[in-house]
Amino acid sequence: MNGAPPLSNLIHLLYKKVLQPFLFQLDAERAHNMAVQGLRFFEKWPGSLEFFQSQFVIHDPRLEVMVRTLTCPNPVGLAAGFDKALEVFPILPYLGFGFMELGTITPKPQKGLEKPRLFRNKARKAILNRMGFNNPGLDAALHRFEKGRRKKLTVPMGLSIGKGVNTPLEVADNDYLHCLGKAYSLFDYVVLNVSSPNTPYLRALQAVSPLRKLLTQVSKTVQNIAQSTGEPSKPVFVKISPDDSDEMLEAVVRTAVECNLGIIATNNTIEPHLLGPKWAHEKGGLSGRPLKDKANAVLKRVYQLTRGAIPIIGVGGIFSAEDAYEKIRLGASLVQVYTGWIYEGPLLIPNINRGLLKLMERDGFKRIQDAVGTAY
């Protein structure tokens, strides 16, 4: 199995044959919460983090990626939405991730939408969610982050921020600026989530005029902080939707370049009919395998419009090293995984990293960073 140590193959088998069948019988959100509790239990069990590290972390300098002020030991990160409440982030670097994104967090705590709100489609390796930014709120999140970040093994960590569900669109900027101001000094990067499908009208913020206003203010805030501290600015990314017209996408990308912000492509799609007619009327955002082609088309367009001027993180439908490598060759400096990790299990991350080393060797790249944007 991809040169993995024998014990991690056993862990993989246990996940696939015992844990996953058990969890997949439960309501998906309940299963997620149990998995989170399980991870927290392991954190307290002496020696378990070191054991995870020995099984899941691939050390190879060729995998290291530098993106502005971030140095990631490998390009495979955890996407936003898994650790919404900042409960397990200290453990996740021990599972092999090269960076991670926490949240999305809003200024005040939110319960999210009515349950059930998380669904699996096993046959299509997809997840449909309408969580609606359930999160403990900014202050609790920052408190948890400060308390939990003292582990030995750490990787760059970003915070995804969003607007509160009851904040009118006209004053949504205040929510982003408030979260940015408080989170900036603690996190390695910040993400403006303007593309979740589950907060009403949020995606309207991607329209040219509101987006320009928001991104300009964000960029000024970051510059001011950098000037006053004398430190280089930390990267800020805008996470975009895969469902916009080409015209809108171009405008969003142009504005991000003007403001010198990176792009994360993409969030979930609001086209559940990709799962077949039975799902066509379900509300929510679709992730996993059916999202891959759409997300890759957006990534490709973003890279063609920017050609390395701003960093891009590629996300959507990664289930293998080949999927990750495709995104890197399409122009992503870093990639993120969520749904693939749930379906393939904990060995996916080291397998992607091992596979990336093989693919870059095959193609004659000395470092994974050299493969970025070489698909054209």
Ligand X SMILES: Cc1cc2nc3c(=O)[nH]c(=O)nc-3n(C[C@H](O)[C@H](O)[C@H](O)COP(=O)(O)O)c2cc1C
Tell me, residue by residue from 91 to 110, as one string, x for binding to ligand X by CB under 6 A and - for no binding. -------------x------
209 given a catalytic annotation? no
User: Minimal distance in Å, beta carbon 74 to ligand X?
Assistant: 16
Q: Which of residues 257-276 bind ligand X (CB under 6 A)?
A: 267-268
Residue among 96, 316, 345, 350 that touches ligand X (CB under 6 A): 316
By CB under 6 A, which span of 106-114, 199-207, 274-282, 284-292 interacts with ligand X? 284-292
Q: Does residue 104 have a cis bond before it (omega within 30 degrees)? A: yes
Of 8, 195, 196, 333, the active-site residue reads 196
Q: Does 183 bind ligand X (CB under 6 A)?
A: no
- The whole-angstrom separation of Cα 98 and Cα 156 is 7
Residue among 4, 80, 141, 368 that touches ligand X (CB under 6 A): 80
Give the CB-nearest residue to ligand X: 81
User: Minimal distance in Å, beta carbon 191 to ligand X?
Assistant: 7
Q: Does 337 bind ligand X (CB under 6 A)?
A: yes
Q: Which of residues 108-167 bind ligand X (CB under 6 A)?
A: 118, 127, 129, 131, 160
Of residues 187 and 365, the one with the C-beta less far from ligand X: 187
Of residues 35 and 375, the one with the C-beta less far from ligand X: 35
Of residues 49 and 324, the one with the C-beta less far from ligand X: 324
- The whole-angstrom separation of Cα 306 and Cα 361 is 27
User: Minimal distance in Å, beta carbon 241 to ligand X?
Assistant: 10
Q: Which of residues 229-258 bind ligand X (CB under 6 A)?
A: 239
Chain centroid, CA 85 distance in Å: 14
Residue among 57, 67, 79, 359 that touches ligand X (CB under 6 A): 79
User: Minimal distance in Å, beta carbon 237 to ligand X?
Assistant: 10
Tokens, residue 191: 């993400």
- The whole-angstrom separation of Cα 140 and Cα 57 is 30
Number of chain residues interacting with ligand X (CB under 6 A): 26
By CB under 6 A, which span of 77-85, 165-173, 323-331, 352-360 interacts with ligand X? 77-85
User: Minimal distance in Å, beta carbon 101 to ligand X?
Assistant: 7
Instruction: Provide the greatest CA pair distance for the chain.
Output: 56
Residue among 291, 302, 328, 348 that touches ligand X (CB under 6 A): 291
Tell me, residue by residue from 195 to 214, as one string, x for binding to ligand X by CB under 6 A and - for no binding. -x------------------
Q: Does 340 bind ligand X (CB under 6 A)?
A: yes
Of residues 343 and 365, the one with the C-beta less far from ligand X: 343
Residues across the chain: 376
Three-state SS for the chain is CCCCCHHHHHHHHHHHHHHHHHHCCCCHHHHHHHHHHHHHHHHHCCCHHHHHHHHHCCCCHHHCEEECCEEECCCEEECCCCCCCCCCCCCHHHHCCCEEEEEEECCCCECCCCCCCEEEECCCCEEEECCCCCECCHHHHHHHHHHHCCCCCCCCEEEEECCCCCCCHHHHHHHHHHHHHHHCCCCCEEEEECCCCCCCCHHHHHCHHHHHHHHHHHHHHHHHHHHHHCCCCCCEEEEECCCCCHHHHHHHHHHHHHCCCEEEECCCECCHHHHCHHHCCCCCEEEEHHHHHHHHHHHHHHHHHHCCCCCEEEECCCCCHHHHHHHHHHCCCEEEECHHHHHHCCCHHHHHHHHHHHHHHHCCCCCHHHHCCCCC
Of residues 118 and 153, the one with the C-beta less far from ligand X: 118
Residues forming the active site:
196
Interface with ligand X by CB under 6 A: which residues? 79-81, 84, 104, 118, 127, 129, 131, 160, 193, 196, 239, 267-268, 287-288, 291, 315-318, 337-340
